[in-house]
Structure 1
């Protein structure tokens, strides 16, 4: 009996085999962001004589209303993609405004989130610079960190939210005029994508 068993086992091993795997992804509730004014901050026309020659010129801050709606309570983080990457003139954690003559960086724009309300309650904006290992109080929204929201009772732990509303403030800085060729009209060409990860 044992010889017959070994022969059968050897025969089965010689027949070959195939792997079978089962895969898929279960996603949490989807979330949809929206910004007032179509997400556009328009500073209108500026004259070069109003730009500081030696220091960055800060333009009036602009605000948009940020709304995020999820199908159910969801843990999510916010970050941005700088679509003018490498052109930020004043602060590398901000977003670029394009270039003049292909080599002069026009300026920077930074974003912050203020007075967030989630599901009828006041929450606080927190940020992580180490991919979510540690969190701290910050209004920053950008590509240099992850932004989330926390209860006032625990500033180090992101919470799940379903409906969020907040003021998104944009601060625009134009590089010192002495470093810019200002012979023709120059477009302020900032562009960023708000990204939600959940």
Structure 2
């Protein structure tokens, strides 16, 4: 009798216990690459007077270049993908990155950012910039880095990305502010573009 009661009591304790799941994830890669942008990847347009903005057209701010480099410990086939952290504010999804929303009027979209990769060299030789809008199934020459496009690099005349150890290029950033007529500008409004250049191994 005592033994049976003890077992029944133990069973009730087991049934009442709780648990938690721990998942350990990661990715083992055969090679490692590092992406770098000059100026810590910051483009600061400073103070833009509201009175200088076009009333019914976009106002283009000065073009800003940044040095872009990708260095790998051995030749690696990779692509760069622009990921828009402000996609909900984009005025041209698929072509332009968003500049964020007006913090004082959240429904107002502030403008656009466009990226282009120029003057690319790969392992010391001129490189052709390629793009793919279907995750690498087909490629075409294109230096504009549209959101979510794969950007690869190859020798001129080659339409398939190649493995490289060192890529150097100039990243061109063009920023435009929305027409002033569509913005509430009676207070200071911070520009808030945020883009990730994501390196992906192929």
Of residues 157, 164, 168, the one that matches 1:165 is 168
Report if aligned partners of 2:33, 2:71 keep a CA contact under 8 Å in 1. yes
Of residues 139, 143, 148, the one that matches 2:143 is 139
Aligned to 2:181: 178
Cα separation, 2, equivalents of 1:91 and 1:176? 18
Aligned to 1:8: none
Of residues 71, 79, 102, the one that matches 2:81 is 79
Of residues 66, 76, 81, the one that matches 1:64 is 66
Cα separation, 2, equivalents of 1:57 and 1:88? 15
Give the superposition deviation at 1:159. Answer: 0.7
Structure 1 spans left out of the alignment, 5+ residues: 1-23
SS of alignment partner, residue 43 of structure 2:
coil
Aligned to 2:121: 117
Report if aligned partners of 1:56, 1:90 keep a CA contact under 8 Å in 2. no
Cα separation, 2, equivalents of 1:92 and 1:103? 20
Give the superposition deviation at 1:85. Answer: 1.9
Give the superposition deviation at 1:95. Answer: 1.3
Of residues 107, 110, 122, the one that matches 1:106 is 110
Report if aligned partners of 2:111, 2:176 keep a CA contact under 8 Å in 1. yes
Cα separation, 2, equivalents of 1:107 and 1:62? 16
Of residues 183, 191, 194, the one that matches 2:194 is 191
The RMSD of aligned alpha carbons is 1.5
Cα separation, 1, equivalents of 2:141 and 2:69? 20
Give the superposition deviation at 1:27. Answer: 2.1
Taking the TM superposition and a 5 Å limit, the aligned residue runs for 1:18-97 are: 27-90=29-92, 92-97=94-99
| TM-score where L is the length of structure 2 | 0.82
Report if aligned partners of 1:90, 1:175 keep a CA contact under 8 Å in 2. no
| TM-score where L is the length of structure 1 | 0.84
SS of alignment partner, residue 38 of structure 1:
helix
Cα separation, 1, equivalents of 2:174 and 2:191? 13
Moved over 3 A (4+): none
Cα separation, 2, equivalents of 1:33 and 1:25? 18
Cα separation, 2, equivalents of 1:159 and 1:110? 25
